[in-house]
Amino acid sequence: MTYLEKAFEALGDPTRLAIFQRVAARPHSVGEIAEHMPVSRPAVSQHLRVLKQAGLVADVKDGTRRVYQVKPEGIDALKKYFDQLWTRNLNAFKAAADKASERKNNDSSSGNRTGKKVI
Instruction: Go through the domains of the chain in sequence order and give each one's CATH number.
Output: 3-71 (1.10.10.10)
Q: Which pLDDT does position 113 carry in this prediction? A: 57
Q: Contact 19/33 with Cβ under 8 angstroms? A: yes
Instruction: For 54, list phi and psi in degrees, rounded to 5.
Output: -80, -5
Cα separations in angstroms, 3 against 7, 51, 72, 81, 82: 6, 12, 14, 11, 14
Task: Tell me the per-residue pLDDT of 46-97, one tens digit each, with 9 for 90 and over.
Answer: 999 999 999 999 999 999 999 999 999 988 988 998 999 888 888 888 888 8
Count of other CB atoms within 10 angstroms of residue 81: 14
Which runs of consecutive H residues, i.e. helices, occur in 12-71? 14-25, 30-35, 41-53
Report how far residue 45's alpha carbon sits from residue 43's, in angstroms, rounded to the nearest whole number.
Answer: 5
Q: Which pLDDT does position 115 carry in this prediction? A: 57
Work out the percent of the chain whose per-residue pLDDT is above 90: 58
Under the banding of pLDDT at 50, 70 and 90, the label for residue 107 is confident
Q: Contact 26/20 with Cβ under 8 angstroms? A: no
Query: Does 98 have pLDDT greater than 80?
Result: yes
Least confident of 30-39, 81-90, 102-111: 102-111
Count of other CB atoms within 10 angstroms of residue 55: 18
Predicted structure pTM score: 0.73
Q: Which pLDDT does position 119 carry in this prediction? A: 61
Q: Contact 75/81 with Cβ under 8 angstroms? A: no
Q: Which pLDDT does position 18 carry in this prediction? A: 97
